[in-house]
């Protein structure tokens, strides 16, 4: 636990040295949140329900979607995105020499504190939506955040898998942008989509685990089958991504080769 905390503390100290940039990023964070919520507001301005979800219930999904975007843009992309460039230039050697697990180091070596605003906005949206939908029971809340953890773990595993392809292919940026575009669908309840798309958003690009599943738990509309699916998908992504990372490192020729 000391290594992750030390890495996070160091990255925060570096980021906060540039306070002007930090303040500007916080300001743009307000605009980002507004832009992400407005499509939902506009759509529900013309209807009261979509696929059984009212506007307030859909706002629960939006709140968890904001958590996902903060996790991606504040932690995953600043770290895993740099791996691609490090592999191209051969500078990954410097990271592999650190006295810590390589996957852990490349995953949390940087934290972008400007995206803390997105976390605050996410919980503000969740709080407002929960108040309007109805306060859930304690078990519902626990299950919701367990499902959220499963979803974020699965998305991390997916992103790591995408990054691992950079060890064999020169440019994988298009793949990352494609996954990000698909993940943007997580702002809507998964029931809005057809059968094949639901499978895609649960088992292939598992945004439903991060957004819809926790929102359903907050509504009290969850079952143990849902929890089992979430844990199974998360475990599969984590195990497969770990195996892929190990295989990728074994094929890495380094800058000195």
pLDDT in tens, 73-113: 888 887 777 787 777 777 777 777 777 777 877 777 777 77
Please give the pLDDT value at position 215.
Answer: 93
Please give the pLDDT value at position 63.
Answer: 92
Among 46-60, 206-220, 221-235, the range scoring the smallest mean pLDDT is 46-60
Please give the pLDDT value at position 40.
Answer: 84
pLDDT at 233 over 90: yes
Please give the pLDDT value at position 20.
Answer: 66
Which residues lie below 8 Å from residue 236, measured CB to CB, with a gap of 6+? 154, 157
Facing residues of 54 across strands?
Answer: 49
Closest to 37 in 3D by CA, of 154, 107, 121, 144: 121
Average pLDDT across the chain, whole number: 82
| Pairwise CA distance, residues 177 & 86, whole Å | 19
pLDDT at 119 over 70: yes
Residue percentage of the chain with pLDDT more than 70: 87
| Pairwise CA distance, residues 200 & 240, whole Å | 17
Give the best-scoring range by mean pLDDT among 19-28, 65-74, 138-147.
138-147
pLDDT at 6 over 80: no
Alpha-carbon separation of residue 108 from 18, 71, 78, 223, 240 (angstroms): 20, 11, 9, 33, 19
Please give the pLDDT value at position 198.
Answer: 84
pLDDT at 252 over 90: no
| Pairwise CA distance, residues 57 & 63, whole Å | 10
C-alpha dihedral, 67 to 171 to 14 to 74, nearest 10°? 0
**Could you tell me the pTM of the whole model?**
0.86
Please give the pLDDT value at position 77.
Answer: 80
Q: Which stretches of the chain are DSSP H helices? A: 2-15, 19-44, 55-71, 77-89, 92-96, 102-108, 116-133, 138-164, 173-183, 195-199, 207-210, 212-218, 224-251
Residues 118/33, Cβ–Cβ less than 8 Å: yes
């Amino acid at each position: 636990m000391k290594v992750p905390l030390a890495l996070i503390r160091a990255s925060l100290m570096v980021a906060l040295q540039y306070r002007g940039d930090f303040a500007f990023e916080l300001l743009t964070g307000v605009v980002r949140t507004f832009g992400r919520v407005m499509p939902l507001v506009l759509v529900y301005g013309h209807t009261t329900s979509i696929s059984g979800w009212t506007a307030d219930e859909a706002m629960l999904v939006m709140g968890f979607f904001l958590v996902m975007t903060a996790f991606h843009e504040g932690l995953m992309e600043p770290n895993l995105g740099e791996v691609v460039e490090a592999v191209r230039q051969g500078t990954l050697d410097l990271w592999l020499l650190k006295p810590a697990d390589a996957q852990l180091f490349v995953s949390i070596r940087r934290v972008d504190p400007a995206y803390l605003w997105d976390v605050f906005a996410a919980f503000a949206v969740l709080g407002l939506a929960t108040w309007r939908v109805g306060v859930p029971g304690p078990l519902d809340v626990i299950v919701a955040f367990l499902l959220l953890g499963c979803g974020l773990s699965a998305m991390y595993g997916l992103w790591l898998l995408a990054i691992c392809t950079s060890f064999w292919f020169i440019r994988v940026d298009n793949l990352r942008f494609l996954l990000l575009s698909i993940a943007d669908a997580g702002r809507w309840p998964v029931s809005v989509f057809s059968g094949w798309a639901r499978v895609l958003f649960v088992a292939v690009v598992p945004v439903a685990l991060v957004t819809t599943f926790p929102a359903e738990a907050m509504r009290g509309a969850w079952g143990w089958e849902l929890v089992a699916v979430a844990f199974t998908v998360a475990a599969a992504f984590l195990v497969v991504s770990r195996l892929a990372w190990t295989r990728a490192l074994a094929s890495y020729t380094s800058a000195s080769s």
